[in-house]
């Protein structure tokens, strides 16, 4: 009986029910998750302000719907967990042990991956264009939504994807600068030319980040990965006047995590050594891993008591019992510090898109202009990539956060001009 109690308790997670949380404490929002430059932020203060400023808004209603959905998923998972007998858990643990051994055989320590992340990219570009902004809290965007915030603003809890009116409450001295994607694309193109000198097949993850396989360049130049990272960061600064942070690891997952360790304008190298990888990954919070978002984090934490990557291995049996094979394998791979190392095969692109967030409006002429601007930007992007298209899709997100789409398929392929 004691063993059964012990096994069952694993499924409940580590939750303290002794004190009833206040409304704002149960309001889970991405705004309070730590980003570079936000380590010293008073999270409770930020969460309370976000709650108070959002309450009654369409955004708040949408967040409540998402919260209800997340709670339902957690409840369902707990119900599944409660049905597992000690025998079930023992059997699934054997499955997990076998999969861990199989995954371990795929560990590849022969490649060296570098992840480069520009520091507060949009904000940094705007400061470069207007030096008077230096040292002042500033955000790119407007009262409806922020695209990014500089490090001075992040100290107040201001960050990307936050409505500007909330940011102003957190930081009354905040300066807003309108978005200028042409400017950001210009600087992004310069950085990509630098990347190409180190890895002609680099993977651009967005305008401001990329993955580079620097295995060959390290050998060719007889340089360490740390030396290559430093040289690349120096070159980018000389070419653009912008700083970036870098992470080096044996796979792309680790390299990305490492690039966030010494931001801004720093780097971190994780040796291509199994023991070093396992030590590094063991205490890493699960939310630091790409692919583990807010909902997954809460399910793993609140249902299974999983907080760190090492916990993934410790509770592998439960993961195999409650999730699909592919999902469980992903979690176990994270616990082992495994990630993609191969160079992706070049595949034909399936789609290309352009989207922007703007203030709510009922002005039809404004809508028409927004649509024309987006179509023009899409056309330019398609010409740059040498692409043609047959199906055009329009996606609209309303002020109530409903997403509506309309699509039309043309009778023949057109190259947009």
Residues involved in catalysis: 209
Residues in the chain: 417
Q: Is 211 helix (H, G, I), strand (E, B) or coil?
A: strand
Q: Cβ neighbours of residue 133 under 8 Å, at least 6 residues apart?
A: 126, 127, 150, 175, 177
Rounded Cα distance between 186 and 191, Å, is 9
> Residues of 275-303 as b/e, b for ≥16 C-beta within 10 angstroms?
eebeebbeebebbbbeebeeebbbbbbbb
Rounded Cα distance between 45 and 155, Å, is 12
Rounded Cα distance between 34 and 173, Å, is 22
Phi-psi category of residue 375: left, alpha or beta, with phi > 0 → left and psi -120 to 50 → alpha? alpha
Residue 383 tokens read as 């010409």
Rounded Cα distance between 179 and 207, Å, is 14
Instruction: Give the residue from 156, 171, 160 showing the smallest Cα distance to 30.
Output: 160
Rounded Cα distance between 83 and 358, Å, is 47
């Amino acid at each position: 009986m004691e063993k059964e109690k012990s096994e069952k308790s694993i499924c409940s997670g580590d939750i303290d029910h002794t004190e009833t949380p206040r409304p704002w404490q149960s309001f889970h929002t991405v705004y309070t998750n730590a980003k570079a430059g936000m380590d010293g932020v008073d999270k409770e203060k930020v969460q309370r302000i976000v709650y108070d400023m959002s309450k009654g808004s369409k955004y708040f209603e949408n967040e409540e719907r998402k919260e209800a959905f997340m709670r339902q998923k957690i409840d369902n998972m707990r119900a599944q967990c409660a049905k597992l007998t000690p025998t079930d858990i023992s059997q699934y643990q054997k499955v997990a042990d076998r999969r861990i051994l199989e995954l371990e055989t795929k560990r590849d320590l022969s490649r060296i991956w570098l992840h480069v992340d520009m520091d507060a990219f949009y904000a940094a570009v705007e400061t470069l264009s207007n030096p008077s902004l230096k040292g002042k809290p500033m955000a790119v965007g407007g009262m409806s939504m922020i695209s990014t915030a500089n490090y001075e603003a992040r100290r107040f809890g201001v960050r990307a994807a936050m409505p500007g009116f909330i940011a102003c409450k957190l930081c009354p001295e905040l300066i807003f600068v309108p978005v200028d994607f042409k400017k950001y694309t210009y600087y992004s193109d310069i950085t990509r030319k630098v990347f190409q000198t180190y890895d002609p097949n680099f993977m651009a993850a967005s305008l401001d980040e990329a993955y580079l396989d620097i295995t060959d360049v390290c050998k060719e130049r007889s340089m360490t990965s740390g030396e290559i990272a430093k040289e690349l960061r120096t070159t980018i600064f000389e070419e653009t006047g912008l700083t970036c942070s870098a992470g080096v690891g044996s796979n792309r997952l680790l390299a990305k995590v490492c690039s966030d360790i010494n931001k801004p304008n720093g780097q971190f190298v994780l040796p291509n050594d199994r023991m070093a990888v396992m030590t590094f990954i063991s205490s890493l919070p699960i939310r630091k891993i790409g692919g583990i978002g807010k909902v997954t984090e809460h399910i793993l934490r609140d249902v299974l008591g999983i907080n760190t990557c090492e916990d993934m291995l410790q509770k592998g049996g439960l993961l195999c019992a409650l999730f699909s094979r592919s999902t469980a394998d992903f979690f176990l791979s994270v616990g082992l510090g495994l990630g993609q190392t191969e160079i992706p095969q070049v595949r034909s692109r399936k789609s290309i898109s352009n989207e922007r967030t703007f203030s709510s409006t009922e002005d039809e002429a404004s809508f028409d202009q927004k649509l024309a601007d987006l179509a023009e930007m899409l056309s330019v992007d398609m010409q740059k990539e040498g692409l043609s298209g047959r199906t055009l899709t329009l996606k609209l997100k309303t002020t109530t956060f409903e997403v509506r789409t309309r699509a039309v398929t043309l009778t023949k392929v057109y190259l947009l001009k």
